[in-house]
Chain A
Amino acid sequence: MTGGRDRIARRFAALAGEGRSAFIPFVSAGDPDRETSAAILARLPALGADLIELGMPFSDPMADGPSIQAGGERALRAGQTMADTLAMVSAFRERDADTPLVLMGYFNPIYRYGSEAFAADARAAGVDGLIVVDLPPEEDEELRGPAETAGLALIRLVAPTTDDARLRRILADCDGFVYYVSVTGITGTKSAMTRDVAAGLARVRKATDLPVAVGFGVRDAGQASEIAGFADAVVVGSAIVQRIESTLSNGRAGSGTIPGVEALVRELAGGVRNGRGPEAEEAGG
């Protein structure tokens, strides 16, 4: 197999060889509309995305702050369905065979689709992994089996509140990479404190050899750079989704939407690339 979890593993191995951290931008599929969203997705690798997190819009995103909630609502209003999201991935995969793509969202739309059918269709579309925010290890068995069969990595989350006993349980069946939630909070509302994140990450690293990505509280290129100094990957979501929102005109994609997102993603990717440079070594250790 060339895609699925293998594509993720290959990418992290290559980055480790280059001695740098991965940049993972997050966008909601279909935000603000199908066409603009597909255009943004297609551009991400050239702008410096090493992996991509694509959000599956949900009406009740409990773990997300106002920005990502609003992005999902825009997509749903524009008519985005799960089938559209998978079709977007297929179109992306026709032109990019190397950049790992992970779907992120909540369980209900997957449950409704049917876990087995969903895992099979997602893999066929070119998806490599799944992050399902409201499926803790206690509940993810019904998706883990189908994901394994399909060759998809089921990526688990670790939070600052996770104790060592839970950490072992989470890591036991984690696949692809570990997603470290850098703040106790929802996406995009609190700024991660670099020192706390570094300490949290050290605890995770002691317990696993999997790459560790940091997300939920990374707001700008400077902070992305600091965190890239010690994390294997840095996820930025809310800031990008906010950029989409701030460039809309009358609630629709404007002439500044795609260029605005491009400029921000390029800047963030640059921040992550600088994270392991000589300057950062001094600053961040």
Chain B
Amino acid sequence: MERNTYRDGPDAQGRFGPFGGRYVAETLMPLILEVERAWRAAQRDPAFEAELRYYLEHYVGRPSPLYFAERLTAHLGGAKIYFKRDELNHTGAHKINNTVGQILLARRMGKTRIIAETGAGQHGVATATVCALFDLPCVVYMGETDIARQAPNVFRMKLLGAEVVPVTSGSRTLKDAMNETLRDWVANVDDTFYVIGTVAGPHPYPAMVRDFQSVIGNEVRDQILAAEGRLPDTLVACIGGGSNAMGLFHPFLDETGIDIHAVEAAGEGLDTGRHAASLTAGSPGVLHGNRTYLLQDGDGQIQEAHSISAGLDYPGVGPEHAWLHDVGRVRYVSVTDAEALEAFQLCSRLEGILPALEPSHALAHVARIAGGLPSDHLLVMNMCGRGDKDVFTVAEALGVEL
């Protein structure tokens, strides 16, 4: 079937094809609808747009550079590789593009308390940061397992004045933190706004987070035209829930000549069962307010994800990705912990950039494909986070004692 556009989702029910929707308890439904109304109104309000732009420029530090990775390009001997440097944002990752947007919206709605879930802690830090800026109380739910492996980010959030609540239910990781945040929201419907960190959850979150993150792809378009006089040939981004990937991809979905690759975490290997590759190895289901691909058993119980990267360690994926997967517009591939670690070291040595373990997955895929592409092939990879938070994890994985 011929399709005019890949960019017109979601529909009024919040669906991208069969995916998405609003699978939440009735107590939350009126709130979800209120968030949607407020967001639609904000989108039409030039004052909101101006305020968002102001903070993105002066506080976050946008636009982030589009950097030609010359030594990596020479090393791989093929495609011309550009990094979109979202790791240079304030707080060191793309997450803050979205938290600024949602917290400005929460203020507009008169909400006085902010809650969030976090996995790696990047979204928690980005939320706590903007809450400090606007003097809003902030509660971040984080799985006990993630607290143990992301201690620096936990301390960062506390320094920023946030309360970090350990989640001890289920697998004690991101999915359980999200359950707990939803429970908090149900109990505090009047004053609280839930800042979801990725393009998942009930409608309108997948579309709203995508739109706040689309600043990434929109900047890339201007920057690559300035640098090369044409659009890129290939885009690559890592994907857990999928917000940095949607942010890069969405503005380019209708340029169907552009190859788009999203890289999931294959953990210890897809055949070991210890991975986080919901699209490559999962099946459709309903969790956290939306229908999407999930890691689950035959009885519909959600399974634990595994990745060396806490930010990719989620057993689901945003519903728009699920749809882009099924219609074939984006190619979803996977990279193991070991491959990501190798890419982490390669980039550190060749480019002087410590990438976060999340974009190290994207890098590993770039390393896999770049050599086979011609030298005039333009490849843009989203460097969505910096690796400082991961040095302890990497040291441990490499058997180095600090």
A interface residues (Cβ-Cβ under 8 A, vs B): 58-63, 65-66, 69, 73, 76, 81-82, 106-113, 133-136, 138-139, 156-163, 166, 170, 181, 184-186, 189-190
| Contact (Cβ within 8 A) A82 B175 | no
Task: Report A-chain residues with C-beta under 8 Å of the C-beta of B373.
Answer: none
CA distance A76 to B302 in the complex (A): 11
Across the interface, A63 reaches (CB within 8 A) one of B13, B30, B186, B285, namely: B186
Q: Known: A136-B24, A166-B29, A189-B187. Contact between A60 and B287, CB under 8 A?
A: yes
Q: A60-B176, A134-B289, A166-B29 are in contact. List 16 more A-B contacts (CB 8 A).
A: A62-B179, A107-B23, A108-B302, A111-B285, A112-B296, A112-B298, A112-B299, A134-B24, A136-B23, A136-B24, A138-B13, A139-B22, A158-B26, A159-B25, A181-B25, A185-B187
- Output the nearest chain B residue to A63 by Cβ-Cβ distance: B25
| Contact (Cβ within 8 A) A184 B186 | yes
| Main SS class of interface, B | mixed
Task: Report A-chain residues with C-beta under 8 Å of the C-beta of B159.
Answer: none
| Contact (Cβ within 8 A) A108 B286 | yes
Task: Report A-chain residues with C-beta under 8 Å of the C-beta of B300.
Answer: 58, 82, 108-113
Task: Report A-chain residues with C-beta under 8 Å of the C-beta of B187.
Answer: 184-186, 189-190
Interface size on B, residues (CB 8 A): 36
CA distance A109 to B294 in the complex (A): 12
Across the interface, A159 reaches (CB within 8 A) one of B27, B170, B176, B285, namely: B27
Task: Report B-chain residues with C-beta under 8 Å of the C-beta of A159.
Answer: 25-27, 29-30
| Contact (Cβ within 8 A) B26 A181 | yes
Across the interface, B301 reaches (CB within 8 A) one of A109, A158, A181, A186, namely: A109
| Contact (Cβ within 8 A) A134 B27 | no
Task: Report B-chain residues with C-beta under 8 Å of the C-beta of A136.
Answer: 22-26, 29
- Output the nearest chain A residue to B27 by Cβ-Cβ distance: A159
| Contact (Cβ within 8 A) A60 B302 | yes
Q: Smallest distance from the beta carbon of A210 to chain B beta carbons, Å? A: 16
Q: Smallest distance from the beta carbon of B255 to chain A beta carbons, Å? A: 34
Q: Smallest distance from the beta carbon of B136 to chain A beta carbons, Å? A: 21
- Output the nearest chain B residue to A138 by Cβ-Cβ distance: B22
- Output the nearest chain A residue to B29 by Cβ-Cβ distance: A136
16 contacts between A and B (CB under 8 A): A60-B170, A62-B25, A65-B183, A76-B301, A108-B294, A111-B285, A113-B299, A134-B24, A157-B25, A159-B29, A159-B30, A166-B29, A166-B30, A184-B189, A185-B27, A186-B187
CA distance A136 to B183 in the complex (A): 17
Task: Report B-chain residues with C-beta under 8 Å of the C-beta of A190.
Answer: 187
CA distance A108 to B290 in the complex (A): 10
- Output the nearest chain A residue to B21 by Cβ-Cβ distance: A139
Q: Known: A136-B24, A136-B29, A138-B29. Contact between A112 and B285, CB under 8 A?
A: yes
CA distance A167 to B287 in the complex (A): 25
| Contact (Cβ within 8 A) B22 A186 | no
| Contact (Cβ within 8 A) A134 B25 | yes
Q: Known: A62-B288, A63-B25, A111-B285. Contact between A162 and B30, CB under 8 A?
A: yes
CA distance A66 to B179 in the complex (A): 12
Q: Does B31 contact A (CB under 8 A)?
A: yes
| Contact (Cβ within 8 A) B286 A134 | yes
Task: Report A-chain residues with C-beta under 8 Å of the C-beta of B81.
Answer: none
Task: Report A-chain residues with C-beta under 8 Å of the C-beta of B200.
Answer: none
Q: Does B169 contact A (CB under 8 A)?
A: yes
Which A-B residue pairs are the 8 nearest by beta carbons?
A112-B300, A109-B300, A159-B27, A185-B187, A59-B301, A63-B25, A157-B26, A108-B300
| Contact (Cβ within 8 A) B183 A108 | no
Task: Report A-chain residues with C-beta under 8 Å of the C-beta of B170.
Answer: 59-60, 73
Q: Smallest distance from the beta carbon of A56 to chain B beta carbons, Å? A: 9
Task: Report B-chain residues with C-beta under 8 Å of the C-beta of A157.
Answer: 25-26
- Output the nearest chain B residue to A58 by Cβ-Cβ distance: B301
- Output the nearest chain B residue to A76 by Cβ-Cβ distance: B301
| Contact (Cβ within 8 A) A133 B301 | no
